[in-house]
Structure 1
Amino acid sequence: MPFQKVQSEKLSTSVVRQIELLILRGILRPGERLPSERELSERLGVSRPSLRDAISELQDQGLLTTRAGSGIFVAEVLGSAFSPALIRLFGTHDEAVFDYLSFRRDMEGLAAERAARLGSDSDLKVVQAIFDKMVAAHGRRNAQEEARLDAEFHTAIIEASHNVVMLHMMRSMFELLREGVFYNRQIMFRQRTTRDALLDQHRAINDALQSRNPKAAKAAVEAHLSFVESSLNDLRTAERHESIARQRLEHEVGKS
């Protein structure tokens, strides 16, 4: 008969599985500090030796890391998706920027569609809360704050789609954007007309999600990222034109 004796699971193994799932589901994020050993053992209801065994196993897996004098942190695993050589290529060729935006348009359109259909009420409340912060930040005209909230808004939609592979893949892509590999996100929030348009586009995305309209959510995300692509293309063109104009000016001044 295909039966085997049921064996009780070690407490440390249960802790490992719980922390693994929290990292897999994106609840514990790269770089996030875990509570102290005393607090964590109390929250989990296990002894400190069992907790230490679990932490040690997770460190061996490369999911947790220790920082001397600071504690235990979720490992910075996102950057491993791309090699340094490939990141350098991305950062030095405009082609990669527009391919990146095309990729985001496809993936985030799908994520928004899934979020409208599968996201929980709590997921959508998170999206709404971030959008409310975006509206408040818009009035303060702080490009850095608006760019940060923009990233949080898009990440919240990915999280609400409840696809863990997409979540970690897109977080890795957003990390490269945060580091300025593809373009400086803050540039998009420096011009009044562009800032107003971006807020309206995020409002359309949020409205579609809150009304649980998958088709409209997908279309709103695609329209938003098409606008970003067009704006960046216009910016690159303006920069080239300005460079040529400066050469003409220097030449003209040099003749006098």
Structure 2
Amino acid sequence: MPFRPVQSEKLSSAVVRQIEQLILRGILRPGERLPAERELSERLGVSRPSLREAVAELQAGGLLESRAGSGIFVTEVLGSAFSDTLIQLFSRHDEAVFDYLSFRRDLEGLAAERAATNGTETDLKVIDTLFSQMEAAHQKRNPADEARIDADFHLAIIEASHNVIMLHMMRSMYQLLREGVFYNRSIMFKQRTTRDALLEQHRAINTALQARDTAAARAAVEAHLNYVEQALDADRKAERDEDIARQRFERMKTKA
């Protein structure tokens, strides 16, 4: 018969499993510091030796790291699915920029559909709260804040889809975006007409999600990313045109 004796689980193993789940689900994020040992052991209801054993196992597995004088952190390596060499390659070629936007359009459209269906009331409240923060930053005309909240808003939609593979892949993609690997998002939020358009696009996404309208949510995300792609294409063309104009001007000066 395929039965085996039931064995009680070690406390440290239960701690390992809980922390692994928090990392997998994106609740504990790359670079995030864990509470101090005493506080964490109290929260988990385990002894400090059991906690130390669990932390040691998670460190050996590469999920946690100790920083001298600072504490225990979720490893930063979890935040990137790409090698440094590939990241540098992305940054040097426009082809990667537009393929990145195409990839986002496909994945985020799907995520928006799933968020409208699978998102809990709390998930939708998080998205709505972030949109309210975006409106406030828009009123204050703070491009840096708008760009930061924009990323958080889109990641909240990914989180609300409740697919952990998509979550970690897209979080890695957004980290590259925050670092300006693909393009400088803050520039888009400095232009008044673009800022207004982006706010209304995010409003449409939020409205569709709050109504749990899957088709409208996907369409709103795709329309938003189409707009971003067109704006970037126009910006690249303007840069090329200006470069050509400067060359002509320099030629004219040399012949004067």
Q: Does TM, scored on the shorter chain, surpass 0.5?
A: yes
CA displacement at 1:79 relative to structure 2: 4.8
Where 2:29 maps in the other structure, the secondary structure is coil
Aligned to 1:30: 30
Contact 2:80 2:175 in 1 (8 A): no
Partners of 1:66 and 1:167 lie apart in 2 by 25
Q: Deviations over 1:175-198 (max 9, x none)?
A: 111111111111111111100000
Moved over 4 A (4+): none
Contact 1:205 1:221 in 2 (8 A): yes
Q: Does 1:154 align with 2:157?
A: no
Q: Deviations over 1:122-144 (max 9, x none)?
A: 00000000000000100111111
The aligned amino acid for 2:74 is: V
Aligned to 1:65: 65
Unaligned runs of 5+ in 1: none
Partners of 2:79 and 2:154 lie apart in 1 by 19
Partners of 2:138 and 2:81 lie apart in 1 by 33
Contact 1:16 1:58 in 2 (8 A): yes
Q: Does 1:138 align with 2:138?
A: yes
Unaligned runs of 5+ in 2: none
Alignment: residue pair count: 256
The aligned amino acid for 1:250 is: E
Contact 1:108 1:221 in 2 (8 A): yes
| TM-score normalised per structure 1 | 0.98
Q: Deviations over 1:61-80 (max 9, x none)?
A: 10000000000001112354
Contact 1:36 1:71 in 2 (8 A): yes
Where 1:166 maps in the other structure, the secondary structure is helix
Identity of aligned residues (%): 73
- Tell me how large the CA RMSD over aligned residues is: 0.9
Q: Deviations over 1:146-165 (max 9, x none)?
A: 10000000010000000000
Aligned to 1:96: 96
Contact 2:134 2:149 in 1 (8 A): yes
Partners of 1:78 and 1:176 lie apart in 2 by 13
Aligned to 2:46: 46
| TM-score normalised per structure 2 | 0.98
Partners of 1:133 and 1:64 lie apart in 2 by 32
Equivalences for 1:153-172 in 2 at 5 Å? 153-172=153-172
CA displacement at 1:40 relative to structure 2: 0.2
Q: Does 1:198 align with 2:195?
A: no
Q: Deviations over 1:200-224 (max 9, x none)?
A: 0000000000000011000000000
Aligned to 1:128: 128
Aligned to 1:181: 181
The aligned amino acid for 1:69 is: G
The aligned amino acid for 2:210 is: Q
Partners of 2:27 and 2:170 lie apart in 1 by 15
Q: Deviations over 1:18-56 (max 9, x none)?
A: 000000000000000000000000000000000000000
